[in-house]
Amino acid sequence: MLKIITMLNNIFLFLGSLGGGEIFLILLVVLLFFGSKKIPELARGLGKGMREFKDATNNIQKEITDNAKSIKEETDINKHL
């Protein structure tokens, strides 16, 4: 949950320098450029990409944690005595 809050804070910090008019203009240009039918497809693709990235980072973190635990168990002196 903390990761989500941090990510949202970073997004809002970036958008903090933009006013309402600039955000509206950006959204209007995106709508005109891509069209109303293409935007949901782009959002879906972006969501899938973000999910794959999150899964990959979670897998790497889990692998590092598992390896650290196995190294700790292998080097535990009390266990070998």
Within this chain, do residues 41 and 77 fall inside the same structural domain, yes or no?
A: yes
Within this chain, do residues 56 and 19 fall inside the same structural domain, yes or no?
A: no
Q: What is the pLDDT of residues 2-11, one digit of tens each?
A: 666 666 666 6
Within this chain, do residues 66 and 81 fall inside the same structural domain, yes or no?
A: yes
Band (pLDDT 50/70/90 cuts) for residue 64 is very high
Within this chain, do residues 66 and 40 fall inside the same structural domain, yes or no?
A: yes
Within this chain, do residues 41 and 78 fall inside the same structural domain, yes or no?
A: yes
Q: Residue 12: enclosing H or E segment and its boundaries?
A: helix 2-16
CA nearest neighbour of 34 among 46, 20, 52: 46
pTM of the model: 0.53
Tell me the C-alpha distance between 1 and 12, whole Å: 17
Q: Which domain holds residue 22?
A: 1-34
What's the pLDDT score for residue 73?
81
Report how many domains make up the chain: 2
